[in-house]
Amino acid sequence: MTTLLSLRDVWVEYGDKVVLERVDLDIEQGSFVSVVGPSGAGKSTFLRLVLGQEGPTRGQILLDGIPLTAECHPDRGVVFQRYSVFPHLTAVQNVAFGLECDQSLLLGKLFGRAKRDALARATEMLAAVGLEHNLDVYPAQMSGGMQQRLAIAQALIKHPRVLLLDEPFGALDPGIRNDMHTLVTRLWREHGLTIIMVTHDIKEAFKLGTRVLAFDKRRIDPHAPNRFGATAVYDVPVTKKTQAEAIAADLAGGAAA
């Protein structure tokens, strides 16, 4: 097993509010890490750290043993619950935009051959997520599930090694969510991805993950709620048995819904 990401005594503080404290984790390449925990436990903050959108107040984050730099990076793609696609761009433009953004730093906007290549790659990626018949459709014309497929295509176009999912299926109906589980599991395998997925749904966490982390506060000061931060209080490997139980519970829940 190779360690892809390491967090070493990571803290995040906003003013005198401690959000995360003493986070120490190694994340293996190719693993699928589910992150659960109460609202406000710093799960999204944790993803922003890994994305390099934000630096820790203290501690260190290493990717392949090298400290993360806080800049736009093709190593990491991200999908949020909503709003990660641009409403004024069609599906294929949304996906190609990732590449355009990347290269525009050097070249300005893509044109000619580079643009055709970008559109061809975007089309291929849309086919991989099952949107091959929706290339010229705008997000507003898509269902929630289709928008999330689009967001995943957009995140994967740069072939990131780490895919970060922040409650990506929370707003979807159970049947659609199940289709998305199948899709994400397939993409994870086919692209050799490492995935970190925040979810509210513990069944989903165990069904998809190879490991489940629970973020919460270890200690609480009743007089000063901001004094202590959350950390990974549980770190559970998913076994075949726990996964099978989660899938069974998910099926039962889906049937009842």
Ligand X SMILES: Nc1ncnc2c1ncn2[C@@H]1O[C@H](COP(=O)(O)OP(=O)(O)O)[C@@H](O)[C@H]1O
Tell me whether residue 170 or residue 254 sits nearer to Mg ion (CB atom).
170
Q: Which does 192 bind (CB under 5 to 8 A by kind): Mg ion, ligand X, none?
A: none
* Structure tokens, 69: 């730099």
Binding to Mg ion (CB under 5 A) within 43-62 occurs at 43-44
Rounded to whole angstroms, the Cα distance separating 58 from 60 reads 7
Tell me whether residue 41 or residue 128 sits nearer to ligand X (CB atom).
41
Number of alpha helices (DSSP H) and beta strands (DSSP E) in the chain: 7, 10
Q: Choose which of 40, 74, 192, 225 interacts with ligand X (CB under 6 A).
A: 40
Phi and psi torsions of 122, nearest 5°:
-65, -40
Rounded to whole angstroms, the Cα distance separating 217 from 146 reads 36
Phi and psi torsions of 192, nearest 5°:
55, 40
Binding to ligand X (CB under 6 A) within 2-21 occurs at 14, 19
Tell me whether residue 18 or residue 157 sits nearer to ligand X (CB atom).
18
- Please report how close the Cβ of residue 206 comes to ligand X at its closest, in angstroms: 19
Rounded to whole angstroms, the Cα distance separating 156 from 161 reads 9
| C-alpha closest to that of 151 among 167, 161, 43, 250 | 167
Tell me whether residue 32 or residue 215 sits nearer to ligand X (CB atom).
215
Task: Draw the binding track, 25-44, toward Mg ion (x: CB under 5 A; -: no contact).
Answer: ------------------xx
- Please report how close the Cβ of residue 53 comes to ligand X at its closest, in angstroms: 10
Q: Is 44 in the site for ligand X (CB under 6 A)?
A: yes
Binding piece for ligand X, criterion CB under 6 A, among 43-51, 139-147, 171-179, 205-213: 43-51
Distances (CA, A) of 204 to 92, 141, 159, 249: 29, 27, 24, 10
- Please report how close the Cβ of residue 15 comes to ligand X at its closest, in angstroms: 7
Q: Is 39 in the site for ligand X (CB under 6 A)?
A: yes
Tell me whether residue 47 or residue 99 sits nearer to ligand X (CB atom).
47
Distances (CA, A) of 251 to 11, 117, 245, 246: 38, 41, 10, 9
Q: Which does 98 bind (CB under 5 to 8 A by kind): ligand X, Mg ion, none?
A: none
Tell me whether residue 43 or residue 73 sits nearer to Mg ion (CB atom).
43
- Please report how close the Cβ of residue 42 comes to Mg ion at its closest, in angstroms: 8
The full DSSP string for 176-245 is HHHHHHHHHHHHHHHTT-EEEEE-S-HHHHHHH-SEEEEEEES---TT-TTSS-EEEEEEEEPPHHHHHH
List interacting residues with ligand X (CB under 6 A): 14, 19, 37, 39-45
List interacting residues with Mg ion (CB under 5 A): 43-44
